[in-house]
Amino acid sequence: MAVQLNHTIVWVRDQKASADFFTSILGLPEATRFGPFRVVEMDNNVSLDFYEVDREEIGAQHYAFLITEPEFDEIFDRIRERSLDYWADPGRTRADAINRNDGGRGLYFQDPNGHLLEIITRPYGSGGD
């Protein structure tokens, strides 16, 4: 059996608001409930399971999403419509810019809990400029 990622838990302050943010920005179906989680299904059978915690500080995580060029345009439009900050790099030094790594496009933005989200159209190391 090949090892595959099945799901990961995303720690958040408000699971409904956070799951809704992800589904609306990424254009995914509405989250479903499974036990104490709100589950967002990705197209590759991996899920993000949102778990609500009562904490002041949540350790920021990084989630990268490989998408198509048309999906990039759609998601980028939603990021700009919401006036979200975005960067071309994970260090957040190149604001209001996208990168062209490996001949594709990519950018970083934050969710309401401070998690750093990334959208890319080409996997890193796949070639291109």
Domain positions in the chain: 7-120
pLDDT at 128: 64
CA atoms of 32 and 111, how far apart (whole Å)? 19
Question: What's the confidence (pLDDT) of residue 25?
Answer: 98
What local confidence, expressed as pLDDT, does residue 5 receive?
94
pLDDT string in tens for the chain (129-residue length): 789 999 999 999 999 999 999 999 999 999 999 999 999 999 999 999 999 999 778 999 999 999 999 999 999 999 999 999 999 999 999 999 999 999 999 999 999 999 999 999 999 998 765
Q: Which residue has tokens 């179906």?
A: 29
- Residue 29 near residue 21 (C-beta atoms within 8 A): no
pLDDT for the residue 56 = 78
Give the Cα separation of 24 and 19 in Å (integer): 9
Residue 26: left (phi > 0), alpha (psi -120 to 50), or beta?
alpha
- In this predicted structure, what is the pLDDT of residue 112? 93
Q: Any idea which architecture 7-120 has in CATH?
A: Roll (3.10)
